[in-house]
Structure formats: C-alpha cells, structure tokens
Structure 1
C-alpha cells in the first residue's frame, strides 16, 4: 500500500511501498460510517466468469473515477470514510460522473485483504452495486473487527444472507475476480493503495483529502 503517515504521504505524493509491506499506522476506529445516499442501481451482475467492477453515478458519464483499494488498508479507510461520502454527495447522487471500485489487495493482511474482497463481491452478486457500496463502507468503518462473523453480520444490515457472505469470504469464492481486478491495476501502474484515477490520470495528493480529487474531476470536466 502507499506509504504515508496517518494523514500525510512520506516523501511526497508518489512514495510507494513494495507489495508485501504493511501499514505505518492504523485508521481511527471511532470514525462513524457516513451515509453515502442512493448512488447506484441494485441490478445484480451476471455471475459467469469474473464479475464487473461495481459502478456508481452515471455509467455513461464523460468523466470516470476509478479507485483501487484494499479492505485491510487503514489509509483506504481514511479515503472511503472521509473523502468518498463527499464525492458521493457532490458527483454520484446527481449522476455527474462514473465511479468504479476496484479491488487491489496489497495485501496488507493476507487473510482480511482477500476475504473481505470476496465478501463484498458476494453482496454485489446477491444485491447489486448499491448494496455493494453500502457494504464496502461498512467494511472500512469496522476495519479493526473484520473476520467471518463480521462479514456475515454486516451483510445482514444490507439485507443479504449472512451465511452466504461468510462462506464466500472464507472460501475466497471471488478470488478470480479480485485477482483480475488487481492485475488490471498493475497494468495501469498501480503499486499502492489507495490509488485513484480520473479519466486515466492518477490523482496526486500530499494527503488523503477531498480537494485534490475534486480539482482533478473539475479539470476533467473543463470547469
């Protein structure tokens, strides 16, 4: 994952750790999960082969934001809990951009990074992208407590059968999808998390904050 202190990158905006390196610091366990609103349709994907990336906002928008994250990465939790809700309110609910979530297990935690990704994909299969994004935020919000029981209980909160999600997680049922997503990130130059692209250009930030992402989006929109 990307090497930065809890709020600031080390050695500027592009300092990256190698694949097996862990985090330098943890997230804030007391951070509540903000509501993200209705940002995506709940149509479920075809389960043949690798699953498509969960998409929010307007699928046909001219501006695409693609985020690569690891559910065990505390800096991804900072992005998802502090930045993403603002993005959802300003750009996704009004349908101004297309937003794609991509799995990129570093892995920070060999078990959680992969199991949580499969748990979230099980929710996507059972209930669609809207439930996926809600569940994803819950995973980041309860990051320090993740495990099979928590995957199940959080699934129940989005009206998905907990045992189905528990089994998907422990079996890493969607590892093909997660692996393909990570490879796509590697092919695009991703080497740490969180990494965010706007129309194919990586957002460079000195800290995880909303303004650099907003500026990149507005620039892509020509505003």
Structure 2
C-alpha cells in the first residue's frame, strides 16, 4: 500500500508552471544527494526513450510524468487514451515518455519508475506503455507486490520487476530523464511538449493537447 510522505503530499498540491497545472516541484535539489542505492544499477543505461506511434512522424509529443502524481494519473486515464486514438494509431505523432520524479513520494516515485523501466528493458516499448497505464490505474496500491502483480500477461517475470523496483536498478535512467527535464524547464508533472513547445493549461484536459498538436501539424 502506498504511504505518501508529508513532503510528497505537499508536492502534490496543484501548482502552475507558466499556466501548466499539475504536481509542482523540480529543482535539482529535490533528488536527495545522499540517496543510498539498495543494489548496484544494471549496466547499459540510460535506456532509450520509450516511443509510441510513428517514430518518424513529423510531430513529436513529449510527456514528463511522476507515477505518484495524482494529476499524472488523471492525464494517463483521461488525456493519453484520446491522444492515442486520434494521433498514434494512424502514425500522425511520435509520442515520447520521460520520467520526472518530483518526487511526490520519496519511495514510490522512484521505485515505480524503475519497475516500468524493467518492463521496457525486458519486453520493449509496447509492454512499457501497457505497464505504465497499469501503474497509474493502481496508483493508490503501489508497492513491491503490486509491481510484480501488474506484469500479468506481459513477457517479463514479476519478480524481476519487483527486484528492479525495490533496488531502484534503473535509477540512472530515471535520473537522466529528470535532469534533462530540468534543463528543458520542466518544473512539475505532467508536463507536455509538442514539438518542443510546452502545452499550457489551467486544468488537465485533452483540448489543450489536441490544439497544440493541430497547430504543429499546420505549421509543418
């Protein structure tokens, strides 16, 4: 069962980044400098960016998310499915996922990200996006058992994913995404870029993303 820290709950309050709604935070100081690794990170990192849709599409949508952020869960369950239906199935958009642990929760934000990256590393991007969706759908129950259970039907061993999560074996990949996001100006989650331009919204909704994609298509 997820146990949100007081710091995490404070971070989960609605904030704005140039009128972008979501969980706020994102300075480089948010990642504890003295974090003790519970296991040696796996080699071959950072992993490549998970991509859905057409990798060669003219329009790129890049999204930064924290698995413990309730606003990211809203985005994952109400906005991303519409983006997938309208723009990914026909190859109009290249869709990129980036980890950005604020962290909303000191443990879950990092462990859930490592769990998802273990799925990517073992089964590829399609399985990653399926697993990522499951993480957000089960946000209130995230923990070692859940990380293992959510692999059902995927070509990856649940215990492998559990170990990756609890040991934060993919922290180098997750941290790399986070630092790149900070360099890009990300200060909260979810943050969406369409062709490098941030989507501005006062609430998490599909229309601002759709409008930004259509503007990018027109400009192209």
TM bucket, shorter chain: 0.7 to 0.9
- Structure having the higher helix fraction is 2
Displacement of 1:11: 9.7
Aligned counterparts of 1:222 and 1:3: Cα–Cα separation in 2: 35
Q: Which runs of 4+ in 1 moved over 4 A?
A: 9-12
Displacement of 1:48: 1.8
Displacement of 1:93: 1.1
Aligned Cα root-mean-square deviation (Å) = 1.9
1:17 to 2:24 alignment: yes
SS of the residue corresponding to residue 180 of structure 2 reads: helix
**Matched residue pairs, number?**
193
Q: Is the 8 A contact 2:12 2:69 kept in 1?
A: no
Displacement of 1:69: 0.1
Counterpart in the other structure of 2:97: 101
Q: Which runs of 5+ in 1 are unaligned?
A: 21-46
- Aligned runs of 1:69-108 on 2, under 5 Å? 69-108=65-104
Question: Normalising by structure 2, what TM-score?
Answer: 0.83
SS of the residue corresponding to residue 76 of structure 2 reads: helix
Which among 147, 155, 179 is matched to residue 151 of structure 2? 155
Q: Is the 8 A contact 1:61 1:97 kept in 2?
A: yes
Aligned counterparts of 2:71 and 2:17: Cα–Cα separation in 1: 16
Cα deviations by residue, 1:60-117 (Å, 9 ceiling, x for unpaired): 1111000000000000000000000010011111111100000000000010000000
Higher relative contact order (CA 8 A, sep 6+): 2
Cα deviations by residue, 1:24-45 (Å, 9 ceiling, x for unpaired): xxxxxxxxxxxxxxxxxxxxxx
